[in-house]
Chain A
Amino acid sequence: MDKSKQLTQVLNDCLLRLQRGETVEGILADYPAQAAELRPELEMVRSLWATRGSDTVPIQALQRSRQRLITLAERYRTEPRPPRWRVWLSRLLRLPRRPAFRLGLLLPLVLAALAAGAAAAADSALPGEPFYRVKLAVEQFPLLLNASLPDRLALELAYDQRRAEELRSAMEQRQVSGKYLLAGRLEKAQTGWQIAGIPIQMEDGENAAPAEGDYVAGLLSIEPDKPTARGKFSARLFSGRGIVEEVGENRARISGIWLDLPAASGKLAGLTPGQTVRVSLVRTPQDGWLVQRLEVLDD
Chain B
Amino acid sequence: MTNKKTNELLSRARDLDEQALATIHDLYFPAVFRFVYFRFNDTHLAEDITSEVFVRLLNTLRKPDAKILNLRAWLIGTADHLVIDHLRRKYRQPEEDILGMEDLPSSDDTAMLTELSEQQKLALEAMRSLNQDQQQVISLRFLLECSVEETARIMGRSSGAVKLLQFRALAAMRKLLEAGKEERGQIKAAHPGLE
| Residues of A in contact with B (beta carbons under 8 Å apart) | 4, 7-9, 11-12, 15, 40-41, 44-45, 47-52, 54-58, 61-62, 64-66, 68-70, 72-74, 76-77, 81, 84, 87
Most buried by A among B21, B46, B123: B123
> B residues bordering A, Cβ < 8 Å?
16, 18, 21-22, 25-26, 29-30, 33-34, 37-38, 43, 46-47, 50-51, 54-55, 58, 62-64, 108, 112, 115-117, 119-120, 122-124, 126-127, 138, 141-143, 145, 148, 163-164, 166-167, 170-171, 173-174, 177-178
**Contact partners of A62 in chain B: CB under 8 A:** 25-26, 29-30, 33
With beta carbons under 8 angstroms apart, the residue of A7, A12, A54 that contacts B116 is A54
CA of A66 to CA of B30, assembled, Å: 12
Once the chains are docked, how many angstroms separate the CA of A44 from the CA of B134? 15
Instruction: Name the A residues within 8 Å of B46 (CB-CB).
Output: 61
A65-B142 contact, Cβ under 8 Å, with A11-B167, A54-B120: no
Query: Are A73 and B18 neighbours in the complex by a CB distance under 8 Å?
Result: yes
Please count the residue pairs between chain A and chain B whose beta carbons lie under 8 angstroms apart in the complex: 119
Q: Say whether B112 contacts A56, CB under 8 Å.
A: yes
Contacts A8-B163, A58-B43, A87-B64 aside, 19 further interface pairs with beta carbons under 8 A come to: A8-B167, A12-B148, A47-B120, A50-B120, A51-B38, A55-B115, A58-B47, A61-B43, A62-B26, A62-B30, A65-B54, A68-B51, A69-B21, A69-B25, A70-B18, A73-B21, A73-B58, A76-B62, A77-B16
Closest Cβ–Cβ distance, residue A275 to chain B (whole Å): 54
**How far is A45 from B124 in the complex, measured between Cα atoms in Å?**
10
Chain B residues whose C-beta falls within 8 Å of the C-beta of A72 in the assembled complex: 55, 58
Q: Contacts A47-B120, A69-B55 known; A41 to B29 CB distance under 8 Å?
A: no
Which of these, A15, A44, A51, A76, contacts B174 with CB under 8 Å? A44
* Residue in B closest to A66 when the chains form the complex, CB atoms: B25
What B residues does A66 contact at CB under 8 A? Answer: 22, 25-26, 29
Prevailing SS type, chain B contact patch: helix
Smallest Cβ distance from A196 to chain B, in angstroms? 58
Beta-carbon nearest neighbor of A68 in chain B: B51
Whole-angstrom distance from the CB of A58 to the nearest CB of chain B?
6
**Is B29's CB under 8 angstroms from A57's CB?**
yes
Are A44 and B167 in contact (CB-based, < 8 A)?
no
Given contacts A40-B177, A62-B29, contact A45 B142 (CB under 8 A): yes
Contact yes or no, B112 A49, CB < 8 A: no
B163–A48 touching, CB < 8 Å: no
**Contacts A44-B177, A51-B124, A69-B25 known; A61 to B142 CB distance under 8 Å?**
no
Contacts of B142 in A (CB 8 A): 45, 48-49
Instruction: Indicate which residue in B33, B163, B166, B177 contacts A57 across the interface (CB closer than 8 Å).
Output: B33
Contact at B51–A87, with CB atoms within 8 Å?
A: no
Residues of A within 8 A of B30 (CB): 57, 62
Instruction: Collect the chain B residues with CB atoms within 8 Å of residue A68's CB.
Output: 51, 54-55
Could you list 18 A-B pairs, sorted by A, with CB under 8 Å? A12-B148, A12-B163, A12-B167, A41-B171, A48-B120, A49-B142, A52-B34, A52-B143, A52-B145, A57-B33, A64-B47, A65-B51, A68-B51, A69-B21, A69-B22, A74-B18, A76-B58, A87-B63
Contacts of A65 in B (CB 8 A): 25, 29, 47, 50-51, 54
B113 CB to closest chain A CB, in angstroms?
Answer: 8
Q: Which residue among A7, A48, A49 has the maximum number of chain B CB atoms within 10 Å of its CB?
A: A48
Q: B47 touching A61 by the CB < 8 A rule?
A: yes
Report the minimal beta-carbon distance from A273 to chain B, rounded to whole angstroms. Answer: 55
| Closest partner residue, chain B, to A62 (CB atom) | B29
Are B167 and A70 within 8 A (Cβ)? no
